[in-house]
A and B are shown apart, each in its own frame.
Chain A
Amino acid sequence: MDIFLQQLLNALSLGGTYALLALGLAVVFSIIGLINFAHGELMTTAGYVMAFALAAALPFPLAIILAVAAPVLLAVVMERVAFRPVRGASGTTLLLTSFAVSAILRVLFQNFISARPVPVPMPAALSGVINIGPLHLGIIQSISIATTALMLAGLTLFLNRTVAGRAMRAAAEDFAIVRLMGLRANGVVATAFAISGLLAGVAGLLWVAQRGSVDPLMGFLPVLKAFIAAIIGGLGSLTGAVAGGFLLGFIEVMLQAWLPEAWLPYRDAVAIMLVIAVLLFRPQGLLARKTVLKL
């Protein structure tokens, strides 16, 4: 039982990071029908900014603020430069554009920073472990769980209590009609990208804090996982993305803990098989809703 609880904490921590990333993908997809594969590079950007800010001996809180602000800014610039010109184009065009943005950023990271991992010297105080009875909870892990909870609560408040947030929910249902309210389409889309950048930045910091380094490919795998999570949840559904993220984290952690040793190399394959099983029974995802995409 204790082992199960321990694994549950691990699952919450990993699943929470997937949930933040999946949410970032879903926020943008729900509004303009774009799956932004450059989301991973937003995450990586947060890691690099953190690494350089700490290397420059900036105070830790300032480093965090810069590391989260940079991907927000980059996401907004990305939308303005790369995605706005193709807005309303076919899903394939949007997808290819996002692959291109992702590839360009990765090459820039490799050529102008380094192809090798850059260390991110997190403060030693973060590497401790809290013991609650028989449970060992890493400090970074608990920060990760708490941050996820805080981000989800904050986003819920934003979406339900502010005009901009309600406009985003409305845009996810019917973008053209939001424009009929006199709300600027570009503003709504830019807000969605800023939020996705914020979520990617926070997820990137949590990721880097656990690994201690950042490299050009860092964002690729977690965002692929987040994409899977968003699909399990029902692409375009925000609650679904969060549920899918936690479910995928849970599956991975539990497989890691209980698969026979000989099977461990195939952990991801088994996880994906379980995902396929979920989709066989609910092809539209766990919490799918109809998406109206009209511009």
Chain B
Amino acid sequence: MTSPAPLLDVSGLTVSYGAVEAVRGIDLTVAKGEIVTLLGANGAGKSSTLNALVGLAPRRARRLAFSGQDIAHLPTEMIVRGGMTLVPEGRRIFPTLTVAEHLLLGGAKHAGRGPLAETRAEMLALFPILNERLDQKAGSLSGGEQQMLSIARALMSSPDILLLDEPSLGLAPQIVDRIFALVSDLRSRGLTILLVEQNVALALEIADRGYVLVNGRIEISGSAADLMASAEIRDAYLGA
């Protein structure tokens, strides 16, 4: 492959909480415009990897580069301002803040009202339901609406790459389908996506490539089609 330097270039990433090593020296890359998925069982280190990439989990790495810049020692807020953000597991919306306030805070990095209003209008076009709920407290939204708000809040920072942690968690199947359609749509608009997802079949359907984490190490990696065809994956995750 003679692709240009990847947007996200990680090698030897280790995440440890005290004596517990959740991620043990993994290598991964994400090229611009790709959807890459990170698969694995509960506790394999998927969420820890995403949190570490944005500086919310304690991390060590041989190389941790985003857009060619070393981000190993940047605090979360600077990484987000630089164009990488995370939609956290469990949505983590602020229950007592309104939908409008979430969008305002999400867009905090935009200087001036013009770009902020523009991004906000884009989000409301993308998620019309949020437009109807602008003054409602986020805690009163349904699970699907909260997930959309969480994604919209992250997109308000106009990222180059979006890390998505279990967007389907606890949602009804038809809502999950809408969210995955949206993720594909976002990619076609040029957004790069690193997706962690329990629903392996769904993830491989929209992803270009995938990595499988087992006990904090990457055991298998390859194109989505290869992973889908792999006997190991089918036995372990697809239940076919």
Give Cα A181–Cα B153 distance, bound, in whole angstroms.
8
Give the residue of B75, B94, B156 whose beta carbon is less than 8 angstroms from that of A177: B94
Q: Return chain A residues, CB-CB under 8 Å to B157.
A: 181-182
Q: Is the CB of B105 within 8 A of A173?
A: no
Q: Return chain A residues, CB-CB under 8 Å to B104.
A: 163, 166
Q: Is the CB of A180 within 8 A of B94?
A: no
Give the residue of B56, B95, B97, B101 whose beta carbon is less than 8 angstroms from that of A180: B56
Q: Is the CB of A177 within 8 A of B92?
A: yes
Q: Return chain B residues, CB-CB under 8 Å to A46.
A: none
> Shortest distance in angstroms between A132's beta carbon and chain B's nearest beta carbon?
39
Taking CB atoms and an 8 Å cut-off, the chain B residues in 60-82 that contact chain A are 75-77, 80-81
| Nearest A residue to B78, CB-CB | A182
Q: Is the CB of A181 within 8 A of B106?
A: yes
| Nearest A residue to B91, CB-CB | A177
Q: Return chain A residues, CB-CB under 8 Å to B41.
A: none
Give Cα A193–Cα B80 distance, bound, in whole angstroms.
25
Q: A167-B105, A176-B56 are in contact. Are A183 and B77 (CB under 8 A)?
A: yes
Give Cα A183–Cα B156 distance, bound, in whole angstroms.
13
> Shortest distance in angstroms between B147's beta carbon and chain A's nearest beta carbon?
14
What total of chain A residues lie within 8 Å of the partner, measured CB to CB? 18
Give Cα A289–Cα B97 distance, bound, in whole angstroms.
14
Taking CB atoms and an 8 Å cut-off, the chain A residues in 169-211 that contact chain B are 169-170, 173-174, 176-185
B96 adjacent to chain A (CB < 8 Å): yes
Q: Is the CB of B88 within 8 A of A173?
A: no
Q: Return chain A residues, CB-CB under 8 Å to B101.
A: 166, 169-170
Give the residue of A174, A179, A289 whose beta carbon is less than 8 angstroms from that of B77: A179
Q: Return chain B residues, CB-CB under 8 Å to A169.
A: 94, 96-97, 101
Q: Is the CB of A173 within 8 A of B97?
A: yes
> Shortest distance in angstroms between B87's beta carbon and chain A's nearest beta carbon?
9
Q: What is the interface of chain A mostly: helix, strand, loop, or mixed?
A: helix
Instruction: Please report the number of residue pairs spanning A and B whose Cβ atoms sit closer than 8 angstroms.
Output: 67
B15 adjacent to chain A (CB < 8 Å): no
Q: Return chain A residues, CB-CB under 8 Å to B125.
A: none
Residue from the set A173, A176, A178, A180 with the largest chain B CB neighbour count within 10 Å: A180
B168 adjacent to chain A (CB < 8 Å): no
Q: Is the CB of A183 within 8 A of B75?
A: no
Q: Is the CB of B108 within 8 A of A163?
A: yes
Give the residue of A167, A178, A180 whose beta carbon is less than 8 angstroms from that of B86: A180
Q: Is the CB of A181 within 8 A of B80?
A: yes
Query: Can you list, as one digit per residue, whether each of B158-192 has a CB less than 8 Å from chain A (1) or not (0)?
Result: 00000000000000000000000000000000000
Q: Is the CB of A182 within 8 A of B108?
A: yes
B54 adjacent to chain A (CB < 8 Å): yes
Give Cα A185–Cα B76 distance, bound, in whole angstroms.
9
> Shortest distance in angstroms between B26's beta carbon and chain A's nearest beta carbon?
22
Residue from the set B76, B88, B97, B154 with the largest chain A CB neighbour count within 10 Å: B76
Q: Is the CB of B88 within 8 A of A180?
A: yes
B24 adjacent to chain A (CB < 8 Å): no
| Nearest A residue to B51, CB-CB | A176
Q: Is the CB of B154 within 8 A of A180?
A: yes
Q: Return chain B residues, CB-CB under 8 Å to A178.
A: 105
Give Cα A131–Cα B17 distance, bound, in whole angstroms.
65
Give Cα A21–Cα B92 distance, bound, in whole angstroms.
31
Extra inter-chain contacts (20) besides given A173-B95, A182-B85, CB under 8 Å: A163-B105, A163-B108, A166-B97, A166-B105, A167-B105, A169-B101, A170-B101, A176-B76, A179-B80, A180-B56, A180-B154, A181-B77, A181-B105, A181-B106, A181-B108, A182-B80, A182-B81, A182-B108, A182-B157, A185-B77
Show 18 residue pairs from A and B whose CB-CB distance is below 8 angstroms, ordered by the A residue. A163-B105, A166-B104, A166-B105, A169-B97, A173-B97, A174-B92, A176-B76, A177-B92, A179-B75, A179-B80, A181-B77, A181-B156, A182-B80, A182-B109, A183-B77, A185-B76, A185-B77, A289-B96
Chain A residues with a Cβ under 8 A of chain B: 163, 166-167, 169-170, 173-174, 176-185, 289
Chain B residues with a Cβ under 8 A of chain A: 54, 56, 75-77, 80-81, 85-86, 88, 92, 94-97, 101, 104-106, 108-109, 153-154, 156-157
